[in-house]
Chain A
């Protein structure tokens, strides 16, 4: 007998009996086995966030070491080589191992809840993406701990990265580690894209998506097509170093600038990929504390997409000083100036939301509001360097360092910490301490500005980036000391944040389902949510399903307590990409070893490649193949094969 290929999903109410049935179907196995095999997006999301915060702390300690070395003139705390490794590790850690994964973590956790879905489109791929991220982080930090950290800055320009000038394994660790990390980013991006288009609750048409979905979706589409550029660049670098090719070596007809093109073709869209989801957090979180919907939803959503589209055409502004033709500089300068328009749209939308709302000054609100200010400062300094003559003055100085920290800390760290205060109750079932939160906010905010505002001046006074030390007569000493003090104050602020998280997770006040009076679907669920998220599939009728009574926009109401039950297996429903009309019942995968096995196999393969152990490379490749076949072997339960056959 074959089960019917068509079925009318049963409609029912959210009852305790239904919840008990779903719990038995959806819960991850208990104990260590479940820990290694879970595919629950909430579990994976929390792992992503915790791992990323650990790496934030490591990158922060590296930054403090750098700041100690630069606190005064002619200091000798580190050797120049150690300094190179420290600032490169710091950049690599913050940009690749913290800022993107932390957003993936929040999106992984929140997306299905915001979308009214029971999980991501590809739960096993989701688990795999986390394990590979962890493997890449361990790989890169193994390099650091064995004295082989990257030592050429995070963007790793040739020719210094070539073997002739850099004979150790440092660059090989970096190159292969980045290729490994690229696999994680690309599959994660694919998962977000498909989830956004297929896994939304019925009725959640494309104009009803929370802005966080827009942000992460846009970033993911970009990541899907730009990550291969940097993976390729690093792979070619590794070939140059280990197999005598000359992609980037002029002696063999190669082009050093090719590295910069491939790197920034990826690198600039990446900058938007690590801020757009964070801007989405603010667009969704800020209105809750202003007690009104976001002003200009459509404009903000469209400007998110517009920023990314323009973001593909600005990579050369990182290369203004490389001697490219004037016409090309004009084009990229123009594009870089135009891109401020969609960014400004978001800023004015947030300001109008605060202005016309009734702000509740919670810690989360403070972080979100501070982000607007820091974004404007970082945006203006970015706008300045979009102009070619100004860039020629400022490039490779501390002005650019100040700019990129305003952008990355201002538009990533501040919103992420705000988002943690905002969604912590949902993630853990406990509230964070608001009193400690104020201390946390003001220490971070004042420390950050004390550290990085004077850094603009250091740059204008001509101090180049990446220098190990400087003589006293340059006149940079006092400002550098202030920056060092500010960076330590900022670090204490971040430490207070970690203390608050640890303390609240253990013994914070128990959180209700909806502590803030939120408007989106996740606040309709218990804190923390059940493994299946939604007992019945909700039906969405507006952009703010939980605010329909309050807003009373005279539209049909969303339904959250009655809907498709889908309780005869680990099932959910997919919908059409634009209008979210149900189009299929799908079976979701259960706990699986395959993602972990494939990640371990890849880890073995990459270590073998690093050491050029040919036998181990062959073994690693076979393991990868075996894990893939295990994963993809058609399963009856997933209806990938005919139950009656074979």
Chain B
């Protein structure tokens, strides 16, 4: 039987360093739960679609203009946000601000186009269950875009105030990770509402 020896680790990082820390786990859990929310929203769509009568789809051939370019805009904003994160990582504040503000502007552009698209739809929230699902799912996503925009704006403010360094920057990494999630989940929403009808689903 060995003697009782307490764990005596060598040098340990103190507090969050880089993008590693407890906060990273917290954002991971938030994203897991939010991803589940979108899974249920899409489940509701597929369930309603699979059990609906023909003619349920109000748009059997959804127009890809302006949705497709708007999707590309949102996806590329993820890349720009990543450049912003890298800027903080490398200690280049101008690059960081450009990336974060750039991603904010692109995200805001996406939101504006989405609102425009809502306004030109020939149906409203109460028209049918398809319409309710379409507006609610894209509406939930819009709420996440708005939350992401607030986060990007706060990050830009904090970078402008010179809060961070290459070492202490977990807040930036966590915020940008959330933005990646907002963009990735849109791909699923887009594919469901705009692409699956072309594959023949529920037509």
What residues of chain A have their CB less than 8 Å away from a CB belonging to chain B? 3-9, 11, 121-122, 125, 186, 189-190, 193-194, 197-198, 202-203, 224-229, 231-232, 236, 239, 243-247, 249, 252-255, 257-258, 261-262, 265, 536-539, 541, 554-559, 562-564, 573-574, 581-587, 625, 629, 632, 634, 638-642, 645-646
Contacts and interface: CB of A to CB of B under 8 A. Distances in A.
Contact of B29 (A11, A224, A249, A555): A224
A252 B22 contact: no
A383 B190 CA distance: 42
A28 to B, nearest CB: 21
B125 A245 contact: yes
Given A246-B128, A556-B3, A581-B7, 18 more contacts: A8-B12, A121-B25, A122-B22, A198-B22, A225-B36, A228-B34, A228-B37, A232-B37, A245-B126, A247-B48, A247-B133, A247-B136, A254-B132, A255-B48, A255-B51, A645-B162, A645-B164, A646-B162
Contacts of B167: 5, 642
20 contacts: A8-B11, A190-B30, A232-B40, A236-B136, A246-B126, A252-B126, A262-B44, A555-B1, A556-B1, A559-B5, A559-B6, A562-B6, A582-B12, A584-B14, A586-B22, A632-B171, A639-B14, A640-B168, A642-B164, A645-B162
B32 interface: yes
B46 to A, nearest CB: 11
A115 B132 CA distance: 47
Nearest to B135: A245
Contact of A646 (B20, B56, B161, B171): B161
A65 B13 CA distance: 59
The 8 closest A-B pairs by CB, nearest first: A639-B15, A202-B7, A190-B29, A245-B132, A244-B126, A228-B37, A556-B2, A641-B163
Given A194-B22, A252-B126, A258-B48, A8 B9 contact: yes
Nearest to B168: A642
A634 B40 contact: no
| Interface size, B (range) | 35 or more
B142 interface: no
Contacts of A541: 4
A643 to B, nearest CB: 8
Interface secondary structure of B, over-half rule: mixed
Contacts of B4: 539, 541, 556-559, 562
B14 A228 contact: no
A190 B26 contact: yes
A559 B6 CA distance: 6
B185 to A, nearest CB: 13
A194 B26 contact: yes
A194 B29 contact: yes
Contacts of A538: 6
Contacts of B165: 642, 645
A581 B129 CA distance: 52
Contact of A227 (B12, B33, B170): B33
A256 B8 CA distance: 60
B66 interface: no
A564 B37 CA distance: 41
Given A190-B29, A556-B4, A582-B7, A247 B14 contact: no
B155 to A, nearest CB: 10
B25 A585 contact: no
A417 to B, nearest CB: 31
A9 B12 contact: yes
B12 A573 contact: yes
B16 A639 contact: yes
Contacts of A246: 126, 128-129, 132
